[in-house]
Amino acid sequence: MAPGYVGKILKINLDDLSSSVEEKGDYFYRTFMGGSAMASYFLLTELEKGIDPLSPDNILVITTSVLTGAPLPGANRLSIAAKSPLSEGFGEAEAGGFISVELKKAGFDAVVIKGKAPHPVYLWIADNTVEFKDASHLWGQDSGFAQKKIREELDDDKIQTLTIGQGGENQVRYACVVHDLRHTYGRSGMGAVFGSKNIKAIAARGKNNLELHDKEKIRELGAFFAKNMKDHSVCEILKYGGTLAWDMEDMDADGVLPTHNFHGGSFDKVEGVTFEKMKETVFSGQYTCYACPIRCKPICEGGKFEIDPDFGGPQYETSGAFGPNMLIDDIEVIAKAHELCNKYTLDSIDAGMTISFAMECYENGLITKKDTDGMDLRFGNGEAALEMIEKIAFKKGFGALLAEGSYRAAKVIGNGAERFACVVKKQSFAMHEPRGKNNIGFAFALSPTGADHIEAAHDMPFEDGRWAVPDLYPIGILKGVPARGLTPDKVRWFVLNQHVYSFLNSLSLCFFTAGPARLFRLNHVVDMVAGATGWETSLYELMLLGERTTTLARVFNAREGLDKKDDALPDRLFEPLETGPLKGEKLDREEFWKALEWYYEMMGWDVATGVPLETKLHHLNIADLTRF
C-alpha cells in the first residue's frame, strides 16, 4: 500500500446502527484518488437506480483524498455526496476547514452511510471506530447549539464537526451542512439528506500519524507557497478580504455582477455591499483552513442585527445573492443573512436566488401579500429577506413553498412564473453573469450538480494579453480566449479547463491555492501527488482523472434519467442585459446549442443525448461501473 491513504472505508448502516470496514488497495486509489471521483464510484456501485433522494434508500458518501493531511495550503477539502433532493441527480458539495484531516487521522479515507437511524443520532468517529450517540436533545436546535453540546459531551473542544440545523432537519431541498459553523457544504441539498437519515452531526477526532512518501518534497512545496504568496495577486487579495474583496467591485465594473434576479450586470449602489463597507461596519477578523496561510474567510460581529461571530461572515456568493441580486445595498443585512443560513443550514446561493425569484413574482403580480403571509416581498426589502430565511428553514407559511426551490415553486405558482426561475437542473445560478462570461453559461449548463460556477476557470483572466494565459500552457492551451463567444476553440478551452477543475476536486484541493491563475501551478500538483504517494505520476494522468471525474457524474445522471435536455439554459440568458457596461449583451441560442454538441463530441458523448459513449467509458477505465 502506498503512502497518502490509510486504505480503509467506513461503512455505516443506520437501520441497525452497525458498522464495518472495507479495505481498498492501490488500484482503487490510483483510479479515483478521492473527492468527487471516489464519491461517484460508491454512488454508482452501491445506490439503486431511481430511488427517492429523501428516502432511507439514498446513501451519503464522505470522501477525503490521497493529499488529505499533507501540510499544504488548500489540501484540506472534503466532499459530501448523495443523490440530490434538489436536482434528483448527482449531488455533491465540498468545503475546506479541518475535519477532512481529523477523519483521515481517525482511520478512514471515506465514509459510506446507508439507511435511516431509528431516532436522531450523531456519529462519533475516532480511534478507528465509530459510535452512535443519541441526538434527540439536539434535534430542533441550530447548528451552533449542536456543535457546542457535542464538544461538551465528548469533553474535547478540538473535535471537528459536520452539523445541520433546522433547515436540514426539515429537509429543505437546498439545505446545507456546516463544518465548524463557518465552512459550508452549500450546494445540492446534502443537509436535507442528513435530515432524512436522522443524522444531526458527524464528529471526528484523529490521533493516527499519516504517512507521506516524500516529506521533504511536501515541505518544499509548502515553503514555496509561503515565500511567494505575498507577490501573487490572487493570494494577496484573498488574504486581504476573501472573495468579497476580490469580486464585487471588479465584477460590477466589468458589467458581470448579477443584479435584479439576473436582469442586469451592474448595481448602482454597489458601494454599500463591498468589503470596504464591511470593514467599516461589522468586520472583526478572518480565519483559515488546515495548513493555509491565506486566511481568506471573514468574521462579522455586532452591528444593528447583533451578528454572532461564531458563524463567520459572508464571502462574495452570499453577498451577491442577498445584495445586488435582490437590490439590497446594506452589508449588515447580508452579514445577518449569512449567519442565519449557516445557523439553520441553508445554501445561501439557493436561498438568496429563491427569494429573488419570489420577489420578481411579487412585483409582477403573480403572488400578493395574501400569498406571502402579509410580507411586502419587493426587491430591496432586506428585512423581508431575513424574515423569509427563517420561514424557509422552518417551512412556515410561504416559506414552505420556497423551501422546495424556485423551480418547484414556479410550477405551483404558475402563470408564467417559470420564466423568473434562474436554474439549471433545478439548482439556482451562482453569482456570475454568463452573458458577460460565456464560459460560465457552459459551466451552469454542464455542471453535473446543476448551475455551478466552479466547473472550470472563468474567462476574463485568460483573454489575450491577460496575465493568466501562460498558466494553461502545460495542457496545450497556448493563446488566450475572448470572454464572449462560444467558438470551437472556446469549447476546447472549456473542456481542458473542466478536466483541471475536476481533478482538483477529486484531489480535494482548494481552487484558491492551486490551478490556473493560482500560486500552485499545474505541475506543482503533480509534485504533490508524487510526494504524498510515491507514484510516478504525470499531468496526463491527472487530466485523465479529471475527465474520469466529470464522466462518472454524467453516467450517474444518465442512469437517473438526466440527459441533453437537462443541459438547457433558461430564457433569461438569451435576453439582453438591462444594465451596466455590457447592456444589450445576450447569449445566442443557436450558438449555444451548437457549442454544446461540440462539447459532447470532444468529450466522447452521444451528440443526440449527451450520454457518454461506451468507447469513452472503456478509455477512462470505468465501463464496469455503468448501469443504465
pLDDT tens digit sequence for 444-473: 999 999 999 999 888 888 888 888 899 999
**447 in the same domain as 418:** no
**484 in the same domain as 410:** no
Query: Which of 300, 311, 294, 278 lies closest to 240 in space, CA to CA?
Result: 294
Mean pLDDT on 25-54: 97
How many domains, in total, are found in the chain?
Answer: 3
Confirm if 516 and 471 have CB atoms less than 8 A apart: yes
The domain that contains 615 carries what CATH number?
A: 1.10.599.10
User: Which residue pairs, CB below 8 angstroms and at least 24 apart, start in 569-574?
Assistant: 569/424, 569/434, 569/441, 569/444, 569/445, 570/419, 570/421, 570/422, 570/423, 570/424, 571/419, 572/262, 572/263, 572/419, 572/422, 573/262, 573/434, 573/435, 573/441
pLDDT tens digit sequence for 308-353: 999 999 999 999 999 999 999 999 999 999 999 999 999 999 999 9
**267 in the same domain as 156:** no
Q: What angle do CA 80, 86, 89 make, to 5 degrees?
A: 70
Q: Grid coordinates representing 68?
A: 488529505
pLDDT tens digit sequence for 372-428: 999 999 999 999 999 999 999 999 999 999 999 999 999 999 999 999 999 999 999
pLDDT at 149 over 90: yes
Domain end point (choices 424, 446, 480): 424
Q: What is the pTM of this model?
A: 0.98
What pLDDT is stored for residue 1 in this prediction? Answer: 61
**269 in the same domain as 195:** no
Quick check: is 349 in a domain?
yes
Q: Which residue has the cell 427563517?
A: 390
pLDDT tens digit sequence for 275-305: 999 999 999 999 999 999 999 999 999 999 9
pLDDT band at 503 (very low <50, low <70, confident <90, very high): very high
The SS3 assignment for 551 reads helix
φ/ψ of residue 80, rounded to 5 = -120, 125
Quick check: is 230 in a domain?
no
The domain that contains 349 carries what CATH number?
A: 1.10.569.10
Quick check: is 211 in a domain?
no
Quick check: is 145 in a domain?
yes
DSSP code of 520?
B
**266 in the same domain as 185:** no
What pLDDT is stored for residue 198 in this prediction? Answer: 99
**582 in the same domain as 456:** yes
Question: For the chain, how are helix, strand and coil distributed in percent, rounded to 5?
Answer: 45, 15, 40
Q: Which residue has the cell 481542458?
A: 496
What pLDDT is stored for residue 326 in this prediction? Answer: 98
Partners of residue 264 on adjacent β-strands: 259
Taking the alpha carbons of 65, 71, 77, 78 in that order, is the dihedral positive or negative? positive
Confirm if 171 and 54 have CB atoms less than 8 A apart: yes
Q: What's the chain's length in residues? A: 628
Pinpoint the alpha helices (H) of 470-579: 488-506, 522-533, 539-559
Confirm if 182 and 285 have CB atoms less than 8 A apart: no
The DSSP secondary structure of 189-227, one letter per residue, reads GHHHHHHHTTEEEEEEE--PPPP-S-HHHHHHHHHHHHH
Confirm if 359 and 261 have CB atoms less than 8 A apart: yes
Quick check: is 484 in a domain?
yes
**444 in the same domain as 347:** no
φ/ψ of residue 337, rounded to 5 = -60, -40
Domain end point (choices 205, 223, 242): 205
What are the angstrom distances between the C-alpha of 548 and each of 332, 334, 529?
A: 43, 38, 17
Sequence-distant (6+) residues with CB within 8 A of 418 are 407, 410, 411
Radius of gyration of the chain (CA): 22
pLDDT at 2 over 80: no
pLDDT band at 627 (very low <50, low <70, confident <90, very high): low
What is d(CA 113, CA 450) in angstroms, rounded to the nearest whole number?
A: 23
**20 in the same domain as 102:** yes
Sequence-distant (6+) residues with CB within 8 A of 274 are 244, 245, 248, 249, 331
DSSP code of 569?
P
What is d(CA 538, CA 438) in angstroms, rounded to the nearest whole number?
A: 31
Query: Which of 318, 287, 320, 284 lies closest to 300 in space, CA to CA?
Result: 284
**545 in the same domain as 416:** no
pLDDT tens digit sequence for 177-203: 999 999 999 999 999 999 999 999 999
Confirm if 447 and 424 have CB atoms less than 8 A apart: yes
Confirm if 282 and 300 have CB atoms less than 8 A apart: yes
E strand or H helix at 286: strand 283-287
What is d(CA 238, CA 240) in angstroms, rounded to the nearest whole number?
A: 5
What is d(CA 63, CA 103) in angstroms, rounded to the nearest whole number?
A: 9
The domain that contains 113 carries what CATH number?
A: 3.60.9.10
Quick check: is 238 in a domain?
no
What pLDDT is stored for residue 177 in this prediction? Answer: 98
**409 in the same domain as 289:** yes
Q: Which domain holds residue 378?
A: 255-424
Quick check: is 546 in a domain?
yes
E strand or H helix at 276: helix 275-281
Domain end point (choices 424, 456, 486): 424
Mean pLDDT, the chain, integer? 97
Give the 3-state DSSP-derived string for 100-134, with helices as H, strands as E and coil as C. HHHHHHCCCCEEEEECCCCCCEEEEEECCEEEEEE
Confirm if 312 and 298 have CB atoms less than 8 A apart: yes
**395 in the same domain as 506:** no
- Cβ neighbours around 618 below 10 Å, total: 11
The SS3 assignment for 437 reads coil
pLDDT tens digit sequence for 56-101: 999 999 999 999 999 999 999 999 999 999 999 999 999 999 999 9
Quick check: is 430 in a domain?
no
**388 in the same domain as 468:** no
Pairing type for strands 177-179 and 183-185 reads antiparallel
The SS3 assignment for 167 reads helix
What is d(CA 351, CA 86) in angstroms, rounded to the nearest whole number?
A: 12
